[in-house]
Amino acid sequence: MSSTAPEAPATERAESRRLEGEKVERMVGATRAIVAARGITGATFDQVARAAGVSRGLLHYYFGTKERLLVEVVRRESEVRNQALGRSISDAESAEQVLAAMVHSFEDFLGEGPATVVMLHEMLTLAQRNAEIAGELAELGRRTRGHLAQALAAKDRAGVLVLRERPEAVAAFLFVLADGIMVRRLSEPDYDIRPLMAQAVAAARTLLS
């Protein structure tokens, strides 16, 4: 008689994966909240495990190190925003609608409060001392710019807009504009960024006319 246990039904295997996914989401969400409230140094595995309602060992099982967990938090943030922006741009029928989609996405990001911005800047600071984090963040940056560049290039091919520079250069410039505004909002929370936003949109319009 074989000692191998019978394979679980497909529905049970799918349920197991789903539950594991939910636990990962809790761990990532807890890490995001703790980093925003206490900084990276305050986001210990013990604190994240308690906040997520999982064991410390499970955190180690999924992520291995705190650095890998932090990278996963940023990666998931980027994926969600990339997908939402991509959908908005794909529905745009003019250069102005493309601009409006990008502005709306950025305003949504800022409207969530300082948590995400603080977390990102904490990660950038850590990257100066951790080569693994630096490499992961650089790759995420390239992927995010590439995602936007592809969306803009598709609209250029469709005749919705006319890119004045290479898609990659346009995407990089747009992120530079957004980064500058984020830093100003982070350093001066009460600063009125509306004039900056208007100037940024005007600059972007020259590249998407």
Reported as a single tens digit per residue, the pLDDT across 146-195 is 999 999 999 999 999 999 999 999 999 999 999 999 888 888 888 899 99
With pLDDT > 70 as the criterion, what percentage of the chain qualifies? 88
Distance, in Å, from the CA atom of 137 to the CA atom of 131, rounded to the nearest integer, reads: 10
Indicate whether 67 pLDDT > 50. Answer: yes
CA 195 to chain centre: 25
CA-closest candidate to residue 156, choices 175, 171, 141, 144 = 171
Residue 116 lies in a domain: yes
109 and 12 in one domain?
no
150 and 188 in one domain?
yes
What's the confidence (pLDDT) of residue 203? 94
- The domain total for the chain is 2
Could you tell me the CATH number of the domain that includes residue 105? 1.10.357.10
Indicate whether 18 pLDDT > 50. Answer: no
- The DSSP code sequence of the chain is ---SPPPPPHHHHHHHHHHHHHHHHHHHHHHHHHHHHH-GGG--HHHHHHHHTS-HHHHHHHHSSHHHHHHHHHHHHHHHHHHHHHHHHHH--SHHHHHHHHHHHHHHHHHT-HHHHHHHHHHHHHHTT-HHHHHHHHHHHHHHHHHHHHHHHHHHHTTS---SS-HHHHHHHHHHHHHHHHHHHHH-TTS--HHHHHHHHHHHHHH--
Backbone CA torsion sign across 180, 184, 186, 191: negative
Could you tell me the CATH number of the domain that includes residue 53? 1.10.10.60
Burial class for 59, CB neighbours closer than 10 Å (0-12, 13-18, 19+): buried
Domain range for 166 is: 67-207
pLDDT band per the 50, 70, 90 thresholds, residue 29 = confident
pLDDT tens, position by position, 43-60: 889 999 999 999 999 988
